[in-house]
Amino acid sequence: MPGGASRLLPPFFPVRALEPEWLETAPPATADVNLRDLVRVNRWFGGHRALLEVFRRLVHPGDRFSVLDIGAASGDMGKCIRRSYRNANVVSLDRRTAHLRPAEPPRVAAEALALPFRERSFDFVLCSSLLHHFSGQCAAALVREFLPIARQAVIVLDLERHCLAYSFLPLTGWLLGWSDITVHDGCISVAAGFTVNELRWIAREAGADEAVVRRHWPWFRISLVMRPGAGV
């Protein structure tokens, strides 16, 4: 599907559509190109802005706090946190060691469902653009595993499912030089994205004590902040 040409006309997605992404089987050189594109997407088109909007509601600039970034890939979200919060300690975790190479240490290679940490090990557990890879039930199971690790909150940042967001990468590829894998996987990711009510459902299924969902426009980002329940 070179350039994602067949994805220029956006479909309507009343429900989430899950498809395999090319990144899962991409050779290292192709994966590196995709990861660099994703850093650009986050930097220019709302990923970092949404992240900082969430943290501004949770911490003050001089606070000391720790973050476990699950599914960190190249670690650009962790770098964004460190730039704005000099006293933040961020641990980047991903199941693929190769993806973690550009991330600043400390880095941990591990599966999200087998986290090598004790309960209440971090103030915040962050998963950015991770949950859309999973069905609703699996996403809720993941969050259920994350909640005991967090002292203060679990933060989910993901894509809002919308036809305009679906069209963005194919329509701007000629101008911004997105790779074929970025256009292909980006469209699939948007189709697997969430609505406000879907994220609320995940929080309820996971047993969160408190959950706040926000849309971050015009970036088609969506956040979910969950407080661990007393019994978690």
Q: What is the pLDDT of residues 39-97, one digit of tens each?
A: 999 999 999 999 999 999 999 999 999 999 999 999 999 999 999 999 999 999 999 99
Residue 10: is its pLDDT beyond 70?
no
Between CA 208 and CA 153 the distance in angstroms is 9
Rg (CA), the chain: 17
Confidence (pLDDT) at 1: 35
Q: Both tokens of residue 126?
A: 């962050």
Q: What is the pLDDT of residues 101-143, one digit of tens each?
A: 999 999 999 999 999 999 999 999 999 999 999 999 999 999 9
Going along the chain from its start, the domains and CATH numbers come out as 2-227 (3.40.50.150)
Crossing angle of the two packed helices 180-191 and 163-176, in degrees rounded to 10 = 170
Between CA 79 and CA 27 the distance in angstroms is 25
**Is residue 162 within 8 Å of residue 220, measured between CB atoms?**
yes
Residue 156: is its pLDDT beyond 70?
yes
Number of H helices, E strands in the chain: 8, 7
Confidence (pLDDT) at 13: 77
Between CA 146 and CA 95 the distance in angstroms is 15
3-state secondary structure of 199: helix
Q: What is the pLDDT of residues 200-232, one digit of tens each?
A: 999 999 999 899 999 999 999 999 999 986 545
* Sequence-separated (6 or more) residues with CB below 8 Å from residue 95: 109, 110, 111, 112
